């Protein structure tokens, strides 16, 4: 595995992100891709659960808020679709394996292959190098970024969705399962943008509201020229600070950009917001990263 130096950790604290090429082997990446193929092949999607996923605020509220399928996915393996892949009856217009946008949010707990990767000794060692004392895994996702239709992800901070007090306790591990390029939708970051807090939160609404979640505050307009692209090859890991601003563009290429990503929270002296969409459940309290 790529040995992480103190210099790299300083760079992470400075930039809010860190690229670690070849952190995972090609075999490890392929084992995750093979496993997800099996999961998709067995996927049964009840029509009322065919939730299209979007990051545009109103669509997000409508799609996620119209059903608790999203809100109750924290301890399950559930499916979210690209726009335009289902007809109004909820039938697939294209092959189902090409229609999935992401699968979440408990692969790390419910699936043996993803569990093993999440708790692998190299991930645990990296956590220790970063000084994490009581890290717990809060969520995981497999993101497909389908060729030609993999939607853009607008500029955002992960802490908008995963809020803690104090801030600065959430960390994303983003693993490229195939090369991520500018053509197929690699991540873009604003270096150093993790130091001024957050301006927007997605919170649960009181029961009986028309949507399950709402946004409080607003996302500022970011200057496009401040973003830098981070292409990374298969097996690479990008560490993402919970408050760093990042985005990805539409995948207009003919190749997919599969990713497995999970978020970790330093649980020591931290409170997880009761207003977050994602909540630990009796069935799945947030598991410790160190096993």
Q: For residue range 193-248, what is the model confidence (pLDDT) as tens digits?
A: 999 999 999 999 887 777 788 999 998 999 999 999 999 999 999 999 999 999 99
Asked whether the predicted pLDDT for residue 65 surpasses 50, the reply is: no
Asked whether the predicted pLDDT for residue 16 surpasses 50, the reply is: yes
Distance (Å, rounded) from C-alpha 196 to C-alpha 188? 18
Q: What is the mean pLDDT of residues 243-268?
A: 97
How many other CB atoms are there within 10 angstroms of residue 206's CB atom?
6
Q: What is the mean pLDDT of residues 30-50?
A: 84
Cα dihedral 274, 276, 282, 284 in deg (nearest 10):
-150
Q: What is the mean pLDDT of residues 141-156?
A: 94
Distance (Å, rounded) from C-alpha 80 to C-alpha 88? 16
CA distances (Å), 226 to each of 155, 170, 174, in order?
A: 12, 23, 21
Distance (Å, rounded) from C-alpha 71 to C-alpha 65? 8
Q: Are 134 and 266 in contact (CB under 8 A)?
A: yes
Q: Are 47 and 90 in contact (CB under 8 A)?
A: yes
pLDDT at 42: 92
Q: How confident is the model at residue 142 (pLDDT cuts 50, 70, 90)?
A: very high
Q: What is the mean pLDDT of residues 140-165?
A: 95
pLDDT in tens, 175-184: 999 999 999 9
Asked whether the predicted pLDDT for residue 130 surpasses 60, the reply is: yes
Q: Which candidate, 74, 79, 78, 71, places its Cα nearest to that of 98?
A: 79
Distance (Å, rounded) from C-alpha 14 to C-alpha 10? 6
Looking at 5-9, 50-54, 67-71, 77-81, which range is the least confident one? Answer: 50-54
Encoding tokens for residue 74? 């924290």
pLDDT at 30: 98
HSE toward the beta carbon, residue 14, CA cutoff 13 A: 6
3-state DSSP call for residue 30?
Answer: helix
pLDDT at 59: 62
Q: How confident is the model at residue 161 (pLDDT cuts 50, 70, 90)?
A: very high
Q: What is the mean pLDDT of residues 165-170?
A: 97
pLDDT at 60: 56
Note the pTM of the prediction, 2 decimals.
Answer: 0.93
pLDDT at 64: 47
Q: How far apart are the first and last CA of the chain?
A: 19
Q: What is the mean pLDDT of residues 128-144?
A: 98
Q: How confident is the model at residue 96 (pLDDT cuts 50, 70, 90)?
A: confident
Q: Which candidate, 139, 130, 176, places its Cα nearest to that of 19?
A: 176
Q: Are 262 and 108 in contact (CB under 8 A)?
A: yes
Place of tokens 């039938």: 91
Q: How confident is the model at residue 3 (pLDDT cuts 50, 70, 90)?
A: confident
Q: For strands 77-81 and 164-165, give the pairing.
A: unpaired
3-state DSSP call for residue 8?
Answer: helix
pLDDT at 50: 52
Looking at 85-99, 105-119, 172-186, which range is the least confident one? Answer: 85-99
pLDDT > 70: what percent of the chain? 91
Domains in the chain: ranges and CATH: 14-272 (2.60.120.620)
């Amino acid at each position: 595995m790529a040995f992480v130096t103190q210099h790299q950790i300083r760079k992470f604290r400075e930039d809010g992100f860190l690229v670690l090429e070849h952190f995972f082997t090609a075999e490890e990446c392929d084992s995750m891709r093979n496993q997800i193929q099996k999961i998709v092949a067995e996927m049964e999607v009840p029509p009322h659960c065919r939730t299209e996923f979007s990051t545009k605020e109103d669509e997000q509220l409508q799609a996620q808020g119209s059903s608790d399928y999203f809100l109750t996915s924290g301890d399950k393996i559930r499916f979210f679709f690209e726009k335009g892949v289902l007809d109004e009856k909820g039938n697939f217009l294209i092959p189902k394996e090409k229609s999935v946008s992401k699968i979440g949010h408990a692969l790390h707990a419910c699936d043996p292959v993803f569990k093993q990767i999440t708790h692998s000794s190299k991930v645990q060692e990296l956590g220790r190098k970063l000084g994490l004392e009581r890290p717990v895994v809060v969520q995981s996702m497999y993101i497909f970024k389908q060729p030609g239709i993999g939607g853009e992800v607008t500029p955002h901070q992960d802490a908008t969705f995963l809020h803690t007090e104090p801030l600065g306790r959430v960390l994303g591990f983003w693993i490229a399962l195939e090369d991520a390029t500018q053509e197929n939708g690699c991540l873009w970051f604003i270096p150093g943008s993790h130091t001024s807090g957050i301006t927007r939160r997605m919170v649960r609404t009181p029961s009986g509201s028309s949507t399950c979640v709402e946004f409080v505050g607003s996302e500022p307009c970011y200057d496009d020229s401040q973003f830098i692209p981070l292409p990374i090859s298969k097996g690479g890991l990008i560490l993402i600070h919970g408050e760093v601003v990042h985005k990805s563009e539409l995948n207009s290429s003919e190749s997919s950009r599969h990713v497995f990503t999970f978020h970790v929270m330093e649980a020591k002296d931290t409170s997880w917001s009761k207003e977050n969409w994602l909540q630990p459940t009796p069935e799945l309290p947030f598991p410790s990263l160190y096993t």
